[in-house]
Structure 1
């Protein structure tokens, strides 16, 4: 049996401890961007916690400037598996409260929800708040799709429901399929 000595090398940002020769599976928050999210129709994603939903809506410039529930924080996490995509979490301020996006199983169907609270600085294992950011297609580097980390092939998308375009999780039927409802740009 081989014994190895492991020494702490340095204390990184957010107090993450790094060891020589080892890679930590924990996700540590690296940076946060502040963006509005748009769908293929240039509609903005608007969160309405009082109605427990988020939908893409037509928003005027004036509404966007003063609008609550439209300006997202996109939290990027360091990863040891970059091939899966960049791990991100979403949060938003509505009035004086913070909400984070997560996915929950409701009656056998995965549903996107916004829960009150902050996203953690460090995530030790799997989490229902992490999505993998991937370029939408190789020729559109400014548009992305977001795969749910706990269900491979499930992506954030929108679905028409009456006059609404609700934010949902949607299964991609084939890996090479291009589904415009999953296209999100900043």
Structure 2
């Protein structure tokens, strides 16, 4: 035996029989690919970002508005992660006129809210981030519909809520992950004419 020190990490065996190391660095994310998509809710409305009004809401839009694509055609940035996961980490950005905005979550007045901030989505994220969501299939029977869970708070999903005749984009806490809540259902398409 030598007198060399050997570094030892505590490990834990979870229910899925995977071995996890304790006290290691948190997840890191590296951008893998970007896809362009429109977002629709269960009412077939398009998600539109209006930074001048500080709002993102699902709206009925005219063909003329859709052709401009301003604030409606999202980049979904898919990331690779250092942590083993069946969920795909994604971030969102959108062009409005000649500026790029990224989606993030912030705490305001004790409540988590969705905001769009001017700037670009980073290529690499060394740890936790308020721009990362986990893309999940909405239900096992609905492979073209998705829900997006906020990475920093388990059970918190992107959703829409009616407020003053608008269907605003919000974060919504679901009591159970497998709960079917139509307000958290999103269909993405590269064609604005796509119907649910």
**d(CA) in 2 for partners of 1:181, 1:127:** 24
**d(CA) in 2 for partners of 1:75, 1:28:** 10
Gaps spanning 5+ residues in structure 2: where? 8-24, 189-196
Corresponding residue of 2:63: 61
Which has more radius of gyration?
A: 2
Please, which of 43, 46, 56 is the counterpart of residue 44 of structure 1? 46
The 8 Å contact of residues 26 and 128 in structure 2, kept in 1 or not, is answered as no
Describe the shift of the 1:63–1:25 C-alpha distance in structure 2 as closer, same or farther (beyond 3 A): same
Please, which of 147, 168, 172 is the counterpart of residue 170 of structure 1? 172
Aligned residues: 168
Q: State the Cα deviation string for residues 84-108 of structure 1 (Å, max 9, x = none).
A: 5100000011111110000000010
The 8 Å contact of residues 144 and 185 in structure 1, kept in 2 or not, is answered as yes
Give the SS at the match of 1:59.
Answer: coil
**d(CA) in 2 for partners of 1:41, 1:161:** 15
- Aligned alpha-carbon RMSD (Å): 1.8
The 8 Å contact of residues 27 and 128 in structure 2, kept in 1 or not, is answered as no
Gaps spanning 5+ residues in structure 1: where? 4-22
Corresponding residue of 1:72: 74
Give the SS at the match of 1:78.
Answer: strand
**d(CA) in 2 for partners of 1:150, 1:67:** 30
Q: Are 2:117 and 1:107 equivalent residues in the alignment?
A: no
Q: Are 2:172 and 1:185 equivalent residues in the alignment?
A: no
Please, which of 85, 88, 99 is the counterpart of residue 86 of structure 1? 88
Corresponding residue of 1:6: none
Give the SS at the match of 2:65.
Answer: helix
Give the SS at the match of 1:103.
Answer: strand
**d(CA) in 1 for partners of 2:112, 2:119:** 20
The 8 Å contact of residues 160 and 168 in structure 2, kept in 1 or not, is answered as yes
**d(CA) in 2 for partners of 1:178, 1:83:** 22
- Where do 1:125-140 residues align within 5 Å? 125-140=127-142
Give the SS at the match of 2:42.
Answer: coil
Q: State the Cα deviation string for residues 62-121 of structure 1 (Å, max 9, x = none).
A: 321123100100000002335351000000111111100000000100000000100000
TM-score, structure 1 as length reference = 0.85
Corresponding residue of 1:147: 149
Give the SS at the match of 2:40.
Answer: coil
